[in-house]
């Protein structure tokens, strides 16, 4: 949930770290801080609030150094405050650390260290790492980090500096992401690739409990037994520009508009020869008697859409499970279950735990992941990558659409394998899939219309989303998108469920967004619409309804024609734009909604 970065090299570390933190701010923005070795000790500046507050403070002080670490925080232990901000140092100010993760045994360690004389400054779990490092330190920083790691329970990506080794930065990770970037002017640690892209596209991905010793001229890798490791650097194909706002007001809008390209690339990767295709071809669906789609948040919603599509095309039962529930429910799965894990980041703690649980029960895990080299991508049996590129806005848009595209590709492939679809039938569905980018472009041509409707909803206290069948699946995502960035209360309901309770919430001028793309259910959703209008609601209808009821209370945003199975990809674009413009009209911080972080690496 937090972002960490470190640099050791020829250049001034301060601007490099601050610039890297800007790329990691999506991971948390309760506070930010930096520590550099300035010649006489650590110079530390840390501050509650967004990174721009830290930047202002840095303008007033002249700290400089060629080695340093930085942090952007999503608070877990201890309120957002200057003191609880990272970096943390031990009582003797000899070792400074930045940490992303949660130390589960911090209370026991704290008690022990206090007993030994350590004086804690913060309420964080992270400070225990700095204090423990000072306690173990015997002049050998690598050995110290190994000792510390062995004593810690929980998850961590760590950057460690010591006063005695002003040329060395040490990093280690367990259950939280960390990459090592190497460039001609210096070397980096970072929670995510965009933080280093301006300097290098050569990165190493660390595995759990692998340690990196970074110096200006090179990096060395060790395992937890201090044995040297040989690792191979990977070349990142993303350009530095792809993680820049590039003139757009918000990353979210930029990312919505990028969707035709993302869809083209993702669809092509699942249809045409290449890495994704090779992976998909390896999976034999006839070996499984059920599928479990497991994920969190929007990725879960993608799984719900996937359930409707896969069940319809392949006639295989699909359970969709929240990863946070699945991991503790003693799921009924075995080697005949294909578990599909869906995750943009590939680092969501609950999804990782669910994957490990599933594998321990013998299930085969197929992941759909956006971030190369992430934990889920690496640990799953098969990984299909979405080609969304870096997604910076906390609210996912293009990665969600790319997940749907992969799920469609899988469903068609599985249906063919299972004999539920003839090659000719599959061709028709593939054509639908390949038409999505163009239809998305068409929808993006209607931005002004969506913006106009959104501007009328700014004062709404509550907005309901309804749909039937697969339209209900995408209504879930419309509702989540709206609430996470606009702070307007919202719920999604299956249209048929309204009369079982929810309809009592409908008041004069309550907005109901109805999604209607299932021709066989048009009559049903239209009667739900009439029911809410007759109780005073206003309705915004998204879909293709030839004969909508004429009513002052009803507005329509028409979608390009599509079969119902593929319509969620089209509704999603309108719903994303709708949420975006409602939030924009309220003047909110769309890319960094309050209390949220992009990558939820804690339980
Ligand atoms: C979506 O807009 C959210 N910010 C959130 O629900 C997200 O989809 C969820 O946390 C899962 O993340 P992941 O895809 O990286 O696993």
Lowest mean per-residue pLDDT among 23-32, 347-356, 386-395, 488-497: 23-32
Q: What is the mean pLDDT of the chain?
A: 94
- Is the minimum distance from the CB of 343 to ligand 1 under 6 angstroms? yes
Whole-structure pTM value: 0.86
What is the rounded average pLDDT of the residues 568-591? 97
DSSP string for 55-116: HHHHHHS----SEEEEEEE--SSS-S-TTTSSPEE-TTS-EEEEEEEEETTHHHHHHHHHHT
Q: Using one digit for the tens of pLDDT, what is the confidence trace for 95-137?
A: 999 999 999 999 999 999 999 999 999 999 999 999 999 999 9
Nearest ligand 1 atom, CA 295:
16
**What positions carry a catalytic annotation?**
2, 598
Residue 357 has what pLDDT?
97
- Is the minimum distance from the CB of 131 to ligand 1 under 6 angstroms? no
The pLDDT of residue 548 is above 80: no
CA distance 287 to 273: 23
What is the rounded average pLDDT of the residues 43-58? 93
**pLDDT above 70 coverage of the chain, percent:** 99
The pLDDT of residue 38 is above 90: no
Q: Using one digit for the tens of pLDDT, what is the confidence trace for 167-198?
A: 999 999 998 999 999 999 999 999 999 999 99
- Count the helices and strands in the chain (H runs, E runs): 18, 25
The order of strands in the sheet holding 186-190 is 42-48, 31-37, 67-73, 3-9, 186-190, 179-182, 202-205, 234-235
The pLDDT of residue 412 is above 60: yes
How much distance in Å is there from the Cα of 322 to the middle of ligand 1? 12
The pLDDT of residue 56 is above 60: yes
How much distance in Å is there from the Cα of 12 to the middle of ligand 1? 35
CA distance 111 to 540: 58
Residue 60 has what pLDDT?
85
Closest Cα to atom 7 of ligand 1: 297
Residue 249 has what pLDDT?
92
In a mutational test of the pocket of ligand 1, which residue from 398, 401, 599, 600 has the highest number of ligand atoms less than 8 Å from its CB? 600
pLDDT band at 523 (very low <50, low <70, confident <90, very high): confident
Closest Cα to atom 10 of ligand 1: 297
Note whether 103 and 129 are within 8 A (CB): yes
Residue 77 has what pLDDT?
87
- Is the minimum distance from the CB of 297 to ligand 1 under 6 angstroms? yes
Residue 238 has what pLDDT?
78
* Residue keyed to tokens 């930065």: 169
> Which stretch of DSSP H or E encloses residue 179?
strand 179-182
CA distance 476 to 484: 12
The pLDDT of residue 600 is above 70: yes
For 389, other C-beta atoms within 10 Å of its C-beta total 21
Give exposure, 243-281, as e/b (b: 16+ Cβ within 10 Å): bbeeeeebbbbbbbbbbbbbbbbbbbbbbeeeebbebbe
- Is the minimum distance from the CB of 301 to ligand 1 under 6 angstroms? no
CA distance 557 to 574: 8
pLDDT band at 544 (very low <50, low <70, confident <90, very high): confident
What is the rounded average pLDDT of the residues 542-551? 72
- Is the minimum distance from the CB of 299 to ligand 1 under 6 angstroms? yes
How much distance in Å is there from the Cα of 388 to the middle of ligand 1? 14
CA distance 333 to 357: 10
CA distance 301 to 478: 10
How much distance in Å is there from the Cα of 553 to the middle of ligand 1? 34
- Is the minimum distance from the CB of 302 to ligand 1 under 6 angstroms? no
What is the rounded average pLDDT of the residues 500-528? 91
How much distance in Å is there from the Cα of 346 to the middle of ligand 1? 10
CA distance 296 to 104: 22
Q: Using one digit for the tens of pLDDT, what is the confidence trace for 199-226?
A: 999 999 999 999 999 999 999 999 999 9
Residue 499 has what pLDDT?
86
Lowest mean per-residue pLDDT among 138-142, 296-300, 421-425, 545-549: 545-549
Nearest ligand 1 atom, CA 297:
6
- Is the minimum distance from the CB of 349 to ligand 1 under 6 angstroms? no
Q: Using one digit for the tens of pLDDT, what is the confidence trace for 326-385?
A: 989 999 999 999 999 999 999 999 999 999 999 999 999 999 999 988 999 999 999 999
- Is the minimum distance from the CB of 479 to ligand 1 under 6 angstroms? no
How much distance in Å is there from the Cα of 492 to the middle of ligand 1? 17
Secondary structure (3-state) at 26: helix
How much distance in Å is there from the Cα of 568 to the middle of ligand 1? 18
In a mutational test of the pocket of ligand 1, which residue from 296, 380, 480, 492 has the highest number of ligand atoms less than 8 Å from its CB? 296
Work out the burial of residue 111: count CB atoms within 10 Å of its CB; fewer than 13 is exposed, 13-18 middle, 19 or more buried: exposed
């Amino acid at each position: 949930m937090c972002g960490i970065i470190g640099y050791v090299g020829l250049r001034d570390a301060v601007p490099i770290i601050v610039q890297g933190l800007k790329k990691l701010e999506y991971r948390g923005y309760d506070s930010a801080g930096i520590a550099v070795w300035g010649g006489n000790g650590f110079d530390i500046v840390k501050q509650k609030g967004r990174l721009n507050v830290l930047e202002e403070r840095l303008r007033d002080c002249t700290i400089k150094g060629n080695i340093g670490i930085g942090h952007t925080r999503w608070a877990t232990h201890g309120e957002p405050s200057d003191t609880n901000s990272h970096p943390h140092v031990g009582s003797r100010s000899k070792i400074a650390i930045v940490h992303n993760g949660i130390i589960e045994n911090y209370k026991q360690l704290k008690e022990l260290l206090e007993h030994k004389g350590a004086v804690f400054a913060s309420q964080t779990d992270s400070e225990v790492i700095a204090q423990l490092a000072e306690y173990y330190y015997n002049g050998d920083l690598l050995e110290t980090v190994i000792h510390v790691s062995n004593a810690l329970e929980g998850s961590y990506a760590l950057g460690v500096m010591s006063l005695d080794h002003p040329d060395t930065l040490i990093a280690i990770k367990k259950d939280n992401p960390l990459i090592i970037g190497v460039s001609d002017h210096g070397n980096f640690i970072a929670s995510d690739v965009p933080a280093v892209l301006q300097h290098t596209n050569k990165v190493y991905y660390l595995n759990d409990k692998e340690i990196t010793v970074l110096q200006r001229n090179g990096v060395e890798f060790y395992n937890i037994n201090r044995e040297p490791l040989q690792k191979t650097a990977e070349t990142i194909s993303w350009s530095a520009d792809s993680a820049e706002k590039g003139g757009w007001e918000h990353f979210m809008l930029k990312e919505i508009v990028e969707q035709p390209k993302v869809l083209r690339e993702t669809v092509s990767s699942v249809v045409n020869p290449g890495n994704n295709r090779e992976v998909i071809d390896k999976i034999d669906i006839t070996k499984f008697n059920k599928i479990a789609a497991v994920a969190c948040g929007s990725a879960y919603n993608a799984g719900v859409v996937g359930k409707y599509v896969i069940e319809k095309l392949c006639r295989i039962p699909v359970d969709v499970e929240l990863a946070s529930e699945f991991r503790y429910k003693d799921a009924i799965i075995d080697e005949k279950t294909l578990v599909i894990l869906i995750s943009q980041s590939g680092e969501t703690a609950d999804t990782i735990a669910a994957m490990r649980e599933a594998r321990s029960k013998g299930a085969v895990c197929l992941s759909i992941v956006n971030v190369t080299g992430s934990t889920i991508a690496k640990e799953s049996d098969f990984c299909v990558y979405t080609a969304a590129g870096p997604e910076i806005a906390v609210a996912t848009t293009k990665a969600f659409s790319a997940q749907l595209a992969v799920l469609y590709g899988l469903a068609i492939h599985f249906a063919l394998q299972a004999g539920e679809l003839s090659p000719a039938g599959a061709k028709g569905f593939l054509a639908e899939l390949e038409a999505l980018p163009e239809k998305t472009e068409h929808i993006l041509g209607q931005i002004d219309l969506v913006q106009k409707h959104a501007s009328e909803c700014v004062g709404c206290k509550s907005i309901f989303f309804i749909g039937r069948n697969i339209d209900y699946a995408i209504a879930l995502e419309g509702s989540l998108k709206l609430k996470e960035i606009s702070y307007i209360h919202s719920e999604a309901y299956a249209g048929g469920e309204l009369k079982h309770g929810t309809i009592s919430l409908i008041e004069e001028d309550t907005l109901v967004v109805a999604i209607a793309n299932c021709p066989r259910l048009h009559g049903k959703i239209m009667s739900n619409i009439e029911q809410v209008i007759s109780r005073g609601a206003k309705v915004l209808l998204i879909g293709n309804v030839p004969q909508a009821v004429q009513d002052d209370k009803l507005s329509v945003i028409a979608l390009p024609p599509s079969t119902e199975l593929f319509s969620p990809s089209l509704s999603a674009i309108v719903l994303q734009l709708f949420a975006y413009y409602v939030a924009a009209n309220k003047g909110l911080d769309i890319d960094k909604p309050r209390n949220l972080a992009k990558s939820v690496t804690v339980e």
